[in-house]
Amino acid sequence: MLAIDGPSGAGKSTLAARVVAGLRARGRRTELVSTDAFATWDDPVAWWPRLADGVLRPLADGRPGAYRQMDWTTGVPRPGELVRVAVPDVLVLEGVSSGRASARPLLSHLCWVQGGSAAGRLARTVARDGEAARNELGRWQRFERGWFAVDGTPGAAGTRLS
């Protein structure tokens, strides 16, 4: 299992998509799970048991996993579509908190993507998510700074990209 972690707007999803495409092109059965499918503005990291119970434990036992992806179409997040995860050769877990301390014993590798300055990352996320999300994105950035400092994610990474 490869975790690609770092702050919002750093480029984690882009990197993960490239890694997955490269592995699949080499014939490796690869699955991608994003923490964005679980997190909400009000629950940035406490959702982890849903991922562990629905995906990580079943895959570790050689069984397919599944989870309900958060549906944001109404503007209010709620459990949505059931996503099934086949047993892969490589699981790429991407997103904020994917490399958290409790997951590290399960990881083959942790990659940290810094993505430049906080101001640059905020500009990218506002461009992606819209101006209406600016306040929530700013609040999210403040949360994740504290989370990463306490969790020690950047220092635990085997690969660090700026």
DSSP characters over 5-53: E-STTSSHHHHHHHHHHHHHHTT--EEEEEGGGT-BTTBSSTTHHHHII
* Res 36: pLDDT: 93
Question: What is the reported pLDDT for 77?
Answer: 78
Residues 137 and 40: their CA atoms lie apart, in Å, by 11
Whether 125 contacts 8, CB under 8 Å: yes
Which pLDDT does position 76 carry in this prediction? 73
pLDDT at site 72: 77
Distance CA 113, CA 24 (A): 22
The whole model's pTM is what? 0.93
Q: Using CB atoms within 10 A of its CB, is residue 66 exposed (0-12), middle (13-18) or buried (19+)? A: exposed
Domains of the chain: 2-161 (3.40.50.300)
- All residue ranges of the chain with pLDDT < 70 are 75
